[in-house]
Amino acid sequence: MSADLTLGIDVFIGDGAGSPPASGGAPGAVPAPAPGDRAAGKYLSAGGGWDVPPGTGPRYYSASFSAQTSVTVTHNLGNAAPIVQVYDSGGLQIDAESITATGSNAVVVNFGDVTKGTIAVMG
């Protein structure tokens, strides 16, 4: 008996993604969310993808950075204490060294030795 096992799980097919459209879909493994999807408030929709809830619009801002260890992100969330997530260039979430609100529409994020990536601000 071999110790190598392969588990065959079909890919999740959302409603409307099959043929014919709106066929009810099919159960299976769902796609992994992309970096920043949680920050964007996305959910696994019936269509089979990660979507922002209808009628809410984006409630986050993102900024890319390169060759720096501190970034000021200006947003119009009107929130002096937004949730901030920092991702390295490979899409892995990392901890910020410090986050300082500079009013209700801006934050300064320091992230140490990471010099390239993305910052997501939500609130």
Work out the number of other CB atoms within 10 angstroms of the CB of residue 91: 11
Residue 4's pLDDT is what?
A: 67
Q: Average of pLDDT values for 82-99? A: 84
Average pLDDT, the chain: 75
Q: Average of pLDDT values for 13-34? A: 67
Q: In this prediction, what percent of the chain has a pLDDT beyond 90?
A: 0
- Whether 84 shows a pLDDT value over 60: the answer reads yes
Instruction: Identify the weakest region by mean pLDDT among 43-47, 78-82, 116-120.
Output: 78-82
Residue 50 near residue 43 (C-beta atoms within 8 A): yes
By three-state DSSP, how is residue 2 classified? coil
Q: Which residue has the tokens 């992309």?
A: 34
Residue 121 near residue 73 (C-beta atoms within 8 A): yes
**What does the DSSP 8-state code read for residue 61?**
E
- Whether 86 shows a pLDDT value over 70: the answer reads yes
User: What gap in Å lies between CA 7 and CA 101, rounded to an integer?
Assistant: 48
Q: In this prediction, what percent of the chain has a pLDDT beyond 70?
A: 73
User: What gap in Å lies between CA 66 and CA 115, rounded to an integer?
Assistant: 6
Tens digit of pLDDT for each residue in 37-75?
Answer: 777 778 888 777 887 776 555 466 777 888 778 888 887
By three-state DSSP, how is residue 43 classified? strand
